[in-house]
């Protein structure tokens, strides 16, 4: 059985051990922070980090323009080069404006958040749209500058999916519609049925192109636009 003096000595020793452990943890944390700072400062000395922000953003834009149908996934590897590149690319809204409807909802929401108020280039696949896409897009619908729609049968399909189309898109500059029959339009279906009168005054200044539109429907396109 320990004497009172031995117990006191043991308690003091244990308190000393606990204090040393705490001191070691503080030193280790400081060492890790210092190492991270050293690596960060070393990276700043790399020539690649001396590029102006505009040049880094232009590199990202060049990657995106290699394939106009490609979304921001193609430039995500560039954000892994270093912190400076990541901040430069993420901070440029134009790098995140290409929105594709069959991407994951998380990616679409991230792109829309980073695009801020920049004009959006939206690729809408009517038959393969990610669940929840329209709910996410609706919150940014006023920023759509270009809209490409694939696998559409009639113009009315858009009014059912996009609230108050086209009035909800004041910045819309280009509208491209691809028919549901392998990109062509079904000759037996009037794509403008019950919709043309509602649009002609709103998109008269919009560059409208109906890809694969049958010749007999083209006069309707002119009245639709004018």
Instruction: State pLDDT tens for residues 25-55.
Output: 888 888 888 888 777 777 667 777 778 888 8
Q: Which sign does the torsion angle of CA 73, 74, 79, 81 carry?
A: positive
83-90 helix and 53-65 helix, angle to the nearest 10 degrees: 70
Give the whole-angstrom CA distance, residue 97 versus residue 95. Answer: 6
- Is-above-0.85 flag for pTM? no
Distance CA 138, CA 105 (A): 13
List the one residue out of 67, 116, 97 whose CA is nearest residue 173. 97
The pLDDT tens digits for 69-128 are: 667 888 888 888 888 888 889 999 999 999 998 878 888 999 999 999 999 999 988 887
Q: Compare 200 and 148 and report the one with higher pLDDT.
A: 148
Bond preceding residue 166 cis, omega within 30 of 0 = yes
With CA atoms as reference, report the closest residue to 209 among 169, 180, 179, 188: 179
- Is a pLDDT exceeding 80 seen at residue 20? yes
Q: Which of the given ranges, 9-18, 27-36, 140-149, has the highest pLDDT on average?
A: 140-149
């Amino acid at each position: 059985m320990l004497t009172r003096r031995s117990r006191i000595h043991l308690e003091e020793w244990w308190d000393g051990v606990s204090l040393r452990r705490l001191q070691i943890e503080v030193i280790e944390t400081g060492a890790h922070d210092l190492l991270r700072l050293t690596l960060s400062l070393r990276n700043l000395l790399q020539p690649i980090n001396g590029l102006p922000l505009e040049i880094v953003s232009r590199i990202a834009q060049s990657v995106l323009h290699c394939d106009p149908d490609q979304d921001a996934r193609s430039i995500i590897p560039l954000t892994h080069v270093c912190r400076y590149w990541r901040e430069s690319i993420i901070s440029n809204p134009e790098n995140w404006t290409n929105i594709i409807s069959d991407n994951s909802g998380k990616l679409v929401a991230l792109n829309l958040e980073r695009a801020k108020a920049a004009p959006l280039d939206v690729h809408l696949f009517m038959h393969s749209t990610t669940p929840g896409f329209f709910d996410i897009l609706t919150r940014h619908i006023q920023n759509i500058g270009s809209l490409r729609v694939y696998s559409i049968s009639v113009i009315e399909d858009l009014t059912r999916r996009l609230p108050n189309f086209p009035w909800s898109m004041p910045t819309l500059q280009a509208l491209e519609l691809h028919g549901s029959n392998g990109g062509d339009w079904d000759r037996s279906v009037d794509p403008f049925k019950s919709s043309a009168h509602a649009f002609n005054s709103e998109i008269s200044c919009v560059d409208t192109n109906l890809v694969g539109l049958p010749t007999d429907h083209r006069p309707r396109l002119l009245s639709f636009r004018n």
